[in-house]
Structure 1
């Protein structure tokens, strides 16, 4: 998938994959939602609204009420790329989310995932 294509892909179309990845490893949709809310500052109601509207990734992150400043502490590799080295801001936000979901699926404790 090219960069442009992921940006115009609806968040709602990818969200079930995040949930499936977590559930496959014994985690829940609620944990996925908690991670997304921590990262973006969305309330659950606003997050559900973004999914209902089928908002694309670019808009999803642009409209995020309060991107968590602690996201800069997210490091590691996703799809062979170090997330802290991604130069394009939107792609970095997407990779941060991917990394957090990977950490959940790998059994990392929520307080560590949420950088507490």
Structure 2
């Protein structure tokens, strides 16, 4: 007597039914594990995306600060150059004043000798 929907006992496909059933069970079990791994990978990917976004934000902030620092440095260099020019002008003016005062002193001394 055979069960409807099954191969009769001794039929070559009858033994394969159990094997097919076993393979289907393994496949379903493997699918669950693969799905779990997929969900874990997706969570790691989301975490990595968030970390990348944070790093990109930090990089943008650093680039902005670097640009501001470069602008400050440029202004400081121009100010230093201007200050150095003023110092050179003052030194030159100071030398001319010393020369004049030396000549004035000599002139006063000569005038004092004639008095």
The two structures have a TM-score, normalised by structure 2, of: 0.18
Larger Rg: 2
TM-score computed with the length of structure 1 as normaliser: 0.17
Q: Which gives a bigger RCO, structure 1 or 2 (Cα 8 Å, sep 6+)? A: 1
Higher percent of residues as helix: 2
